[in-house]
Amino acid sequence: MVQQPMRAALASSLLPASLQPNYRAAGTRLDAAIAARMQALGPLRQLRLHGDCHPGNVLWTDAGPHFVDFDDARSGPAVQDLWMLANDERAMQALLEGYQQFRDFDHTELALIPALRAMRQLHYAGWIAARWHDPAFPAAFPFAAEARWWEQHIADLHELTDELE
C-alpha cells in the first residue's frame, strides 16, 4: 500500500522530474513512520474488508444501503472500513456503537487511522498515475497533470508523517 503506489507515481510523466526526489523522500519517510506505527501496535485481528468503504460506494435504494465497488476488497483490521465512513469523531463513535452490536472491536485499532489515511493518499496518487493512459482519467482528474497538485501532495505526505511520528 506504500511501495507500489510510490513506484507508479515515480514512473509516471505526471510527477514533474524536479519533484521526484522530494516525492521519493516524502514517501520513504512516510513508509518508515507507518511501519513504526504498525510495529508498535503489534498483530491485530484481520477480517475481510470492502477496502474502499466510503459514502460514495454506498448505493441507497428503497430496500436500504448496498455496498458497491469491491475491487479493493482485502483482509485487514476492521477500522480500515470504519474510518472511511466516518467524517468526524461523533460519526466514528456512532459507527463503533453499531458495529459492536454485531462484533467486538479492538479500540487499539483506532491508532491506525493516521497510517491508513496516509496509505490512502499514496494509493490515490498512484492509482491516478498508473491509469493515466485511460482517456477517462485526464478528463476526470485534470488536476493531476499540474505540478502544484504534486507539490501539495508531497506537503500532505510530510504532514501525515509528522502526525505519525
Catalytic option among 52, 62, 81, 88: 52
Closest alpha carbon to 150 in 131, 120, 129, 136: 129
Joined together, the cell numbers standing for residue 28 give 520513504
Catalytic option among 62, 69, 72, 134: 69
Joined together, the cell numbers standing for residue 130 give 498508473
CB contact set of 4 (below 8 Å; sequence gap of 6+): 126
Q: Is 10 exposed, middle or buried (0-12, 13-18, 19+ CB in 10 A)?
A: middle
Is residue 69 among the annotated active site residues? yes
Q: Give 100's Cβ-side CA count (13 Å radius).
A: 9
Residue type at position 41: L
CB contact set of 109 (below 8 Å; sequence gap of 6+): 41, 44, 77, 78, 79
Neighbouring CB atoms inside 10 A of 164's CB total 19
| Catalytic residue numbers, as ranges | 52, 69
